[in-house]
Structures are given as C-alpha cells and as structure tokens.
Structure 1
Amino acid sequence: MKWAGSKENRGLALTLALTLGLSAIAAGCGNNNNGAATSTSGASPSANEELTQQSPASEGPKTKIAFWSHQSNLKDKMTELIDEYNRTNTDGIEIDLNVVADKYNDVLSLAFSTGEGPDIFTITGPSSTRKMVDNKWGQPLNDFITDEFKARFLDGVWVENNNVIGGQIYTLTDSASTMRLLYNKSLFAEAGLDPEKPPTTFAELRDYAKKIKEASGGKAAGFGLPMADGYNIDVAMLNTLGYSAIGLNRGFDHAQGKFDFAPYKPLLELFSGMQQDGSMLEGALLVSADQGRAKFAEGSIGMFGGASWDPGIYAGMDIGFDVGVAEFPTIDGTAKGKSSIQTGSGYMMSATAKDKEKTWKAMEFIFSTGFMGELVKQAGGISLLKDIAGNPAYQSDLKLLDQFQINDDETVWPPFPPGLKLQGDAMQAVFIQVINGQRKVDDALADLTKRYNEAFDQAIAEGSYTRESYTIPGFNPLG
C-alpha cells in the first residue's frame, strides 16, 4: 500500500488521479432522505445493455438475498437494476433491497444482535468493518474472491486494518472519497467578499462567516455545522482540517504510534469562536446532515462541508445560486499535512448468510460493470473499479463533480486504529461540547488523549493488533 510519508509512495495522489481521471463513486456515503427502511417495489426494467441481454430467469423457487444499504440517494437506481436482475438472472436468486436512511449503523447493529441481520450490507468505513469482524458478523471473503475478480480493482485498495483484518478481506471497497468546502457565491457577494476568493486561513474563515451573517441580517448562517450526528464534525473538521491544517489522522500520531489531540486546539478555537460570534448555524444540535444540506441548498448557509458524493445529492435539489468549491483553509495558509483520500466504505457479506455461495453470486452482480457503472453515472465521485474508472460510458456530468477529483495535495493516509473500546464520549461528541462552550478546550483535548491512548493500549493488550502496525518512524504528513 502506498502511504503518505513513505518515500517510494509519495506519488500516490498523482497516480490515483491519473488512473481514476474523471471517474465516479460507485456508492456515495451521504443521505438525502429522512425515512425509515424501504424495500424494492416494481420498477420499470433498466435499459442497461449488460443487464437486459441476460437469459430469462430460471423457473422454480428462488433464494432470497437480503441486501441493506445506507445510500438513499441511489435507492431508485438500485431498485431499477435489482428488479431487472431478479427478473432475468439464471442463478435462482432474488435480491431484496432495504435502504435505511436514518441511523443506519445503529439499525444494522440492532438487526444483527437480534439475529435478523441482512446477507449483504454496505459498510461506512474502517471502524464499521472492525466492529462487524469483532462481533463475528462479517464473512471473510478470501475463499470467494478469484484472482480475476481481485484484478478488477485499482492498486492499493486492500489495506490491513482498513478493509482487511488479519490478512482476510472483509469489505469490498467500492470508492474513494474526497472532501471540499462548499460556499454560496451570492452570499459572498452580498457580504462584500470576492466570490472567486474563498478563505485560505482560519482567521479569514471566521471573518467571512461573521460578515455573511451580518450582511444577511441574521437570516443566513456564515458557516453551517449540523451537530445532530457526528457526520459533519467528520466532514468539516476531522476528515478535512484535521489532516491538512493539523497534520493528524483523527488524533493519531503515526510517527509516535499514539494519540495526541493537543494540536487540535486552534481548530476548536476557530469553531468555538464562530459560535461565540453568532455566525454558526442556529439550533445546530438538532440539525442532521441531510437537513444541513437542505438549508445550504435553500441559501441559508454561507459555507458548508461537502464530500465527493454530495454533487449527486445536490443534483436533486433546486439551488438558486452559484456554488463555489474550494480546499479547506489552514491555520496560516500553509498545510501541515495532505488532505485525505478515503477508501474504507464498501460492501460486506454476513457471516450468518444461509447460502453463502448464492450470496457471493449476488455480490458479484453488485460489483458488475452494469450495476456499479450505472450507480457511478448517477452518483458521481471516484470509482475504484478499473473497468468503470475512466470509462466514458459511466462518466457522470454532475455539476461540481470535477472539483472533487483527486489532486496532488491529497493522499491515502495510514489507517486509524479501528474498533477501540473507548470509555466515555468519542471525539465527535467532545468537539461539539467544546464548540458549544460546555467544556474548556485544553481540558477536553487532554482528556481525549488520555482516554484514546488507554483504549489503544487495551486493544494491544487484548491482541487486537500491535503498536508496530500503526507506527511509522519519521512519518511525514506532507510526504
């Protein structure tokens, strides 16, 4: 695997950029619906050639394969393609799709703990993979994956402690993700700011947010940070500014092989300062990520964190202003680390699937060019499948998507230690507490450092992994 900081691998971002080109994400991680679980219903057949040219389905009873996804923005397209597969496949398989739009990980865990887990399900990141493996809910896939199947993926996607645990592949990674700062050019202009010059420093970000709030007469938030879930804390702080402005992977210092949250002080002071200025989104503790996107789309937020799956979500919204897309600012305009290219989401087979051979057949369909390619075309982003990445037939023309493509200032970071048995609040909750004035920044960061290192030490003592596997002497976040 090519990591930031290793001499032989410093060209990863450029290599991925050249390899992936203007390809698209096979499965965006965002939501745009607020409903509960929904299942497939009769949709019109797909026009996709690779699906319609299949032979008629075999007669007789079919094996039902339960497939759960959090990708609500892709529900209609997935339903259409799965209905086509169910009608035409000769494998005796019927896939039953459930799209869980709210609290997906909680609902999934509850289903498995009560013996009602699906056969195939989407994974939202490395921590989810580790949780599924630790609970023995995930099925190792090495015995199913052929060399031919594995060769379809781009180099560098199989990462120990990410989608691979103990040498076993558990999650089939579908996409890479990048993140950007989105901003409302109309609100910039109204505030006397140059719409073509987004903030590049923390001081500018705070100043711009204050001016936007004041110029709108209080009607628009300068910066939108929904806090009803940890999603936007990740997108706007940990997974963006944490890497580029602070130079750490979610508090983990790979050079030392331990956690250190103290460097996040300027970042928390920035956001708590904007909160004190009154320029942050009001009532944010009750606002979810989807609701935040809707508020940005309606023009009531000046600046908002976005990910490479968001162009597909915003495509279904009526936005009456020009959207700017920029890199997130740094403390003084100088980066301390490269931005992160994330590759931890994907698909997993359940260890409790009754017919694993047919479940694998269903997974092969999900990763077929005809299925993934169509999702790519709709959702946009960065595909990790060679036969889709760069394929003109599956390139999306989604607005804003080009500006989320991988650049030279981004790289794949070494993995964060997943599955930690943390005592007390996680980093996202603590960050929210500091921003809202409930905790002092120094005390909060010292407490996070102590508790995360205790959890890391416990995982090592229990044999979950070794410190050496996460330690890279001389690690250079800018390498």
Structure 2
Amino acid sequence: MPMSRRALAAAAVALVLPLSACGSGDDGSGSTDASGKVEGDITFQTWNLRANFKSYFEGVIADFEHKYPGTHVKWVDQPAEGYPDKLSADAAGGTLPDVVNVSPDLVAPLAKAGLALDLDKSAAKYRSEYLPGAWAGHQVPGLSGTYAFPWYLNTGPLFYNKALFTKAGLDPEQPPRTYDELFADALRMAEKSDGKVATLANVPTIEDFGRYGVPLMNEQGTGFAFNDAKGVKLLTKYKELYDAKALDPQALTATPESSGKKFLTGAVAMNPGSALDLGNFKKNAPGLYRNIGITDQITSTGHVNMYVMGVMVNSRTEHTPAAVAFAHFVTDARNQMSFAKKVAIFPSTAGSLDDPYFTKNDGTDETRVRTAAAKSLKNAVNYTPVLFSDQMKTELRNEVAKALQGKESPKAALDNAVAAADRLLQQG
C-alpha cells in the first residue's frame, strides 16, 4: 500500500497544473453545494489497491449504490508507480475523477489549483466524525480549508532492548518518552558501554523537529522555520550524542534495514518497527525477543507522528452531492473498521480506536504492536509539512550530516537547509 510520500512528484504536479484546470465537468461548472439529492454517475480512483482488496471495494460500492439507488460508481485503480504523474495529466486534461485517493502532499497542488473541494465548506457536518489530527492532515499552509476526508492512518511504536537498559543502570520499565529523557539515557548508555552501544541509529528528520516542538513553517505557508532556537537546540543535542557515540557512527548513511540489523545485534538500544519485526526477533534473535519493550515514539509535544491517507472530492465534479456522499461513505466508521481488519492500518474515525480490536492485547505479536500504535494515534498529528518535498528532505539530511561531522555549526546547517527548502518551495 502506498504509505510513502510522493512530495517531489507532487511538486511537479503543481508546475503543470493550470489554475483553470477542471475535472469531470469540462466546462468547470461543478458546484460546491453538497446538499442536493445524491444521484448520478461518479468515478472513484484508488492507488494500487485493486490487487489485494478487490472484493472489499466492490462490496463498499454495492452497499453505497443500494443506499442511494440513483447512483452508479465506476471504480478505477492506478498502479503505485507513476501515480502522481497520472494525477497531473488528469488534472491538466480535465479528466480528474470525481473522488480520488490522495496523500497530503498530492492534495496540496490540487487544492492550490482549485481542484480539491473544501470540505470545511461543503461537508463540515462530518468533521466531528473524525479524529481532529486526522481531519487536519489534508489542510494546506497558506489556504483556509480541508481538502480531503481522512481515510486510513499509520504509525509505528518504538522498540527498545530492556536488557541493554538494565545493563546501563536504567529502569527497563521506564523508557524515555521525551527528547530530554532520551538524550540523558542515551549519553548514559554510551558511557556505561564505553561507546559500544548507541541508543539511536538514525539522524533527526523533519518529523523529529516537529515532535520536539519546533515550528516547521510560518503561518502563511510561504517559508520554513525549523532553524529557530529550538531547532538549533535539537540538532546541537544530536551532535552531542554523535560525538559520544550515543548516536550510531553510521547513522549518516543508515537505512531502515541497516538500523534494524544494528538493533537485532544489540549495537543499538532503540529502533522503530512493526509486528513483522517482532516475528523476525523471535526467529533470529530470541534473546532480544525475550527482552523486547514497546513504547510510544519520542515526543516533547505529547503528540506522536501519524501518516494519513485521504479521499478527495474533485471540485469540478458534476455530481457534488453524490461525490461527497461516497467519499464520506468510504471513510465512515463502519467501512474504515472493516478495512482495518483486512490490512495493518488504523481508522481515522473518532471512537474507532476504542474498539476491542485496537485495545485488547491477547499476547500475540500482532496485537502487542497494534494496541500500542492505536493508543498513540488518538491524538497524533501529521508533522511532515504537506509542502516538504523529498528533495527538501535530502537537503535537510545533507546539512544535518555536516553539522554532526563538525563541518558546520548546527545553526549554519539549519539556516542552509531552510534556505534550500524555501528556494525549492518558490520554484514549485
């Protein structure tokens, strides 16, 4: 499932989208009024979901058409590869489907081009049905409004090695929860192990700055702001960890796979993961498996990071009531819960995470991770700015590396990263 971001390609979408582009109605005469009769033919586009969930979506569509006899939903599914380019071509050519599966970074250029329906105006009555953080996931800096119904969510807990915590004289039942606690524990871990055990294996990302409480953009959405005093403090602390070997020396080139191997061998004390990792630990590292701890992501804001997928309504659709009704139907509590039981995702609807499926731990690896993640999602937010592209991420990572290596001060590194991101933002 397409959980990874496509922000760089989304920027390309923005470059080719004319502001006058229109969707299903070629004359651009679609209405934003969703209060009329639910009827008409609409097209629903998903993102690489047909192969594994054909019967599920056919059932949802049949239920909708039964509820609204005057409707017909045509379902199309696009492959993951080239999906942003497909959206770009459809938007520019006036063939954008009525209801579209999007991620926040993909909805941003469509909203700026006037092609995404503002749900705060057209579907505000549904807002209370969703988690506040999820509803806000498809809001775009610089624009007022919400441009997609929140659909499925994802997040990941943090694994830690209780044996390593005990060996360092730390309480294995009290893992760090804030960044300040993390920094203190990491330095102690490195000191007690003579630099042989790092607590972390990855450099800070934009999500870390968000979870630390750093403002990531200005209120107007016209520039980035993570080079403020708090951002500099965070990077300075990571530099301290790097020098003490509390941050793995190979963190500058780490991948999820390499970080996972470090955790598996006991060279790293904490690492994000999933239920699949628990199975791997059980098979390949039984000692680690017996001592595994599961905790929330580190955050100094009290809110963990979530990844959110959405369902957008084309503002140029000729059948606004039907398109809004269907987008809401796909993402309502009943259908989200049904979908969540077919794949390892979480519903964005209020109250759904209180279901026993997400709260009752039967001792299996799957439920241990699922219940931990579900608990943290209730007040989670999407920290990655919808306008922060993959190219911007690369610029930040390069500057962070220079700071950790002592080639630049943390302040200079973040100033350079913000300047580069702002240039890319203006180009987009």
Question: Is residue 238 from structure 1 mapped to residue 209 from structure 2 by the alignment?
Answer: yes
Report how far residue 444 of structure 1 moved.
1.7
Question: Is residue 388 from structure 1 mapped to residue 352 from structure 2 by the alignment?
Answer: yes
Report how far residue 134 of structure 1 moved.
2.2
For residues 17-65 of structure 1, give each alpha carbon's deviation from its aligned partner in whole angstroms, at most 9, with x where no partner exists: xxxxxxxxxx99579xxxxxxxxxxxxxxxxxxxxxxxxxxxxxx9763
Report how far residue 373 of structure 1 moved.
0.3
1:109 pairs with 66, 84, 103, which one? 84
Question: After superposition, where does 1:51-90 map in structure 2 within 5 Å?
Answer: 65-68=44-47, 76=52, 78-79=53-54, 81-85=56-60, 90=65
Which residue does 2:123 correspond to in 1? 145
Q: Distance in 2 between matches of 1:222 and 1:162?
A: 35
1:195 pairs with 172, 193, 201, which one? 172
Q: What amino acid sits opposite 1:275 in the alignment? A: Y
Report how far residue 143 of structure 1 moved.
7.3
Contact 2:201 2:250 in 1 (8 A): no
Q: Distance in 2 between matches of 1:365 and 1:345?
A: 17
Report how far residue 359 of structure 1 moved.
5.3
Report how far residue 347 of structure 1 moved.
0.8
Contact 1:67 1:96 in 2 (8 A): yes
For residues 296-352 of structure 1, give each alpha carbon's deviation from its aligned partner in whole angstroms, at most 9, with x where no partner exists: 67455534454xxx545646655441332446779xxxxxx5333557833132649
Report how far residue 449 of structure 1 moved.
6.0
SS in 1 for 2:75: strand
Q: 1:348 to 1:315 in 2, by over 3 A?
A: farther
SS in 1 for 2:111: helix
Report how far residue 67 of structure 1 moved.
0.5
For residues 141-176 of structure 1, give each alpha carbon's deviation from its aligned partner in whole angstroms, at most 9, with x where no partner exists: 4676373x4453356765598369755431212467
Unaligned runs of 5+ in 1: 1-26, 32-61, 331-336, 460-479
CA RMSD of aligned residues (A): 5.2
Q: Distance in 1 between matches of 2:326 and 2:265?
A: 42
Give the number of equivalent residue pairs: 362
Deviates more, 1:414-423 or 1:194-203: 414-423
Q: Distance in 2 between matches of 1:215 and 1:285?
A: 17
Report how far residue 196 of structure 1 moved.
2.8
Report how far residue 434 of structure 1 moved.
2.2
Contact 2:47 2:79 in 1 (8 A): yes
SS in 1 for 2:45: strand
SS in 2 for 1:445: helix
Give the TM-score taking structure 1 as reference length.
Answer: 0.56
Contact 1:420 1:455 in 2 (8 A): no
Question: Is residue 133 from structure 1 mapped to residue 104 from structure 2 by the alignment?
Answer: no
Contact 2:200 2:247 in 1 (8 A): yes
- Percent of residue pairs identical: 13
Report how far residue 420 of structure 1 moved.
7.6
Q: What amino acid sits opposite 1:195 in the alignment? A: P
Contact 2:155 2:307 in 1 (8 A): no
Q: Distance in 2 between matches of 1:206 and 1:154?
A: 37
Q: Distance in 2 between matches of 1:364 and 1:423?
A: 33
Q: Distance in 1 between matches of 2:306 and 2:153?
A: 5
Question: Is residue 340 from structure 1 mapped to residue 303 from structure 2 by the alignment?
Answer: yes
Question: Is residue 295 from structure 1 mapped to residue 273 from structure 2 by the alignment?
Answer: no
Give the TM-score taking structure 2 as reference length.
Answer: 0.61
Q: Distance in 2 between matches of 1:205 and 1:75?
A: 44
Question: After superposition, where does 1:295-444 map in structure 2 within 5 Å?
Answer: 295=261, 298-299=264-265, 302-304=268-270, 306=272, 311=274, 314=277, 317-319=280-282, 320=286, 321=289, 322-326=291-295, 338-340=301-303, 345-349=308-312, 351=314, 360=324, 362-377=326-341, 383-386=347-350, 388-392=352-356, 397=361, 398-404=367-373, 419=387, 426-444=395-413
Which residue does 2:161 correspond to in 1? 184
Q: Distance in 2 between matches of 1:297 and 1:418?
A: 31
Q: 1:263 to 1:30 in 2, by over 3 A?
A: same
Q: 1:258 to 1:156 in 2, by over 3 A?
A: closer
Q: Distance in 2 between matches of 1:293 and 1:285?
A: 11
Contact 1:222 1:279 in 2 (8 A): yes
Q: Distance in 1 between matches of 2:230 and 2:141?
A: 30
Contact 1:183 1:303 in 2 (8 A): yes
Q: What amino acid sits opposite 1:374 in the alignment? A: S
Unaligned runs of 5+ in 2: 6-40, 66-70, 362-366
Contact 2:153 2:347 in 1 (8 A): yes
Question: Is residue 270 from structure 1 mapped to residue 270 from structure 2 by the alignment?
Answer: no
Q: Distance in 2 between matches of 1:135 and 1:213?
A: 56
Q: What amino acid sits opposite 2:87 in the alignment? A: F
Which residue does 1:206 correspond to in 2? 187
Question: After superposition, where does 1:36-51 map in structure 2 within 5 Å?
Answer: none
Q: 1:130 to 1:99 in 2, by over 3 A?
A: same
Contact 2:45 2:75 in 1 (8 A): yes
Question: After superposition, where does 1:224-263 map in structure 2 within 5 Å?
Answer: 224-225=201-202, 233-235=205-207, 237-240=208-211, 242-243=212-213, 248-250=214-216, 259=225, 260-263=227-230
Question: Is residue 93 from structure 1 mapped to residue 73 from structure 2 by the alignment?
Answer: yes
